[in-house]
Amino acid sequence: MAITFATRIGPGFVTTPTFESMRFPAGEGHVKVAHDNTGKGDLTEVATLTGADANDLVLLGMWADAAKQRAARTVALIPYLPGARQDRGLPFGANVYATIINGFGIDQIVCLDPHSPVMPSLIDRLTIVDPAHLVRQHVVGRADRDTAPQRYAGIIAPDKGAIARATEVATICHLPVFRAEKHRNPDTGKLDGFTCEELPETGRFLVVDDICDGGGTFMGLAESTGLPRERLGLFVSHGVFSGRAPALADHFGEIVTTDSYPAQTEIPGLRVIDLHPALTGAIQ
């Protein structure tokens, strides 16, 4: 994670941040008052966290405590909710992270596209930013509103878990959605191949999902379509991009993500959408 602070006055005027973070020589995280905004009006203190470094959660707690002591409203923008991929099993990691975040008593949490359907029920006072409008605005375009022609002819859901998300994007963009599916070996449980509904002979198609780690699923899907990279694009809300992920560029002519998570590897041609307008626009 990385953490930054901002301060708002009244309905949204931005002033110099009240707080800045520091770390004591022994390693403890801390925040201090960098600019005393007392007397400027009703303050909303805003913290933005990206990535998944647990040390920044400690700084978030320090910030929340300091802001509450100064009687300010608190908003945490956490686009990548940590623990969402640990929403079952032992330990129940999603609940552990949620318990930590909830314990800070922050007035509003804003996230983007939580990976897990369980996570929203665990985080108190959560606002979710839907990625579908980001995809339409920054990636696909929309024929009946945008001046530029649409850049894709259809949306592909890479597996069953992505169907709802891909369908929403397709609906907003007035495009058809095509379903792909992963197949596993019943004896080993390992991935055994991919299939995709038949695609039109012309046009470009955008694969839409919430997260990409090593990229193996997306590379397998791309191969199963039989399409050249020039006819395939990939959008993921959260781009971890670890391990072999740079090889995605061999399969997709366009790869787009957001700045919710700093990519672990360099992806050739990667385009990153700035989430700041969407996240701050969700502040209540």
- The tokens for 196 are 């995709």
Phi, psi of 256, rounded to the nearest 5 degrees: -130, 140
- Banded pLDDT at 221 (limits 50, 70, 90): very high
For residue 261, pLDDT over 70 is answered with yes
Average predicted confidence (pLDDT) for the chain: 94
pLDDT, tens digit (0-9, with 9 covering 90-100), for 27-60: 999 999 999 999 999 999 999 999 989 999 999 9
Amino acid sitting at position 114: P
CA–CA gap between residue 103 and residue 86 (Å, rounded): 19
Full DSSP string of 111-139: EES-S-SSHHHHSTTEEEE-SHHHHIIII
Q: What is the pTM of this model?
A: 0.93
**2-129 is a CATH 3.40.50.2020 domain:** yes
- Contact partners, residue 48, CB within 8 Å, separation at least 6: 3, 4, 5, 6, 76, 77, 78, 276, 279
Instruction: Tell the CATH topology of 132-274.
Output: Rossmann fold (3.40.50)
Q: For 110-137, what is the mean pLDDT?
A: 95
For residue 61, pLDDT over 70 is answered with yes
Reduce the secondary structure of 216-236 to three states and give it as a string: HHHHHHHHHHCCCHHHEEEEE
- For the chain, the structural domain boundaries read 2-129, 132-274
